[in-house]
Amino acid sequence: MKEGVIDVLMYIFSSYADQDDNLPEDRDGIDADLRAAGFDSHEIEKAFAWLDGLAQADDDQSGDQSSIATRVLASEESARLAYGAQGFLLFLEQSGVLTPRLREMVINRVMALESDSEVDIEELKWIVMVVLFNNADDQDENTLMHYEDIVFADQPAVFH
């Protein structure tokens, strides 16, 4: 079912992220849009639950870490993230795209997907972008666009 939820999230992100406001609060309107696009109601509900969990994780400020701390993935987390995705997550943190708090939100959302299959690097990129745009208050638009370029670039970013 993971693919269905990620597909719904990708559709929501690509449809609404470029709007000036955050995602519309009107779930019925989004639900109707998603149904018209051909998504199953079960997948839509799971995606809404996933987004609700993201909002909850955003509200939880406990457990802030030092930026110099090393994060070791638990065995369950390591099993869920493909090896390349683990490396990409580390790259994003080391390059300053993700703070330790945002990294934890990304890992939390990976673990919230109701599937035992691995999350590959392409799926992780979408999760990262949803988390970043959900926390857009901390960033200006140019920074978010730069992060989007880094996340979706085929080649690693070069920092000067």
Query: In sequence order, what DSSP letters do the residues of 34-100 get, joined into one string?
Result: HHHTT--HHHHHHHHHHHHHHHHHHH--TT---TTPPP---HHHHHHB-HHHHHHHHHHHHTTSS-H
pLDDT of residue 119: 92
- State the Cα–Cα distance between residues 126 and 50, nearest whole angstrom: 13
Distances in whole angstroms, Cα of residue 120 to Cα of each of 27, 80, 82, 110, 111: 29, 9, 5, 10, 13
Mean pLDDT by runs of 10 across the 160 residues of the chain is: 74 72 69 89 91 81 67 92 94 88 93 86 89 75 72 54
pLDDT of residue 147: 74
- State the Cα–Cα distance between residues 81 and 99, nearest whole angstrom: 19
Closest by Cα among 68, 139, 77 to 104: 77
Alpha carbon 56 to chain centroid, angstroms: 14
Structure tokens at 102: 């945002």
pTM comes to 0.79
pLDDT of residue 159: 43
Distances in whole angstroms, Cα of residue 21 to Cα of each of 18, 59, 134: 8, 19, 11
- State the Cα–Cα distance between residues 15 and 9, nearest whole angstrom: 10
- State the Cα–Cα distance between residues 142 and 128, nearest whole angstrom: 17
pLDDT of residue 73: 93
pLDDT of residue 149: 75
pLDDT of residue 18: 63
> In degrees, to the nearest 5, what angle opens at C-alpha 140 toward C-alphas 90 and 108?
35
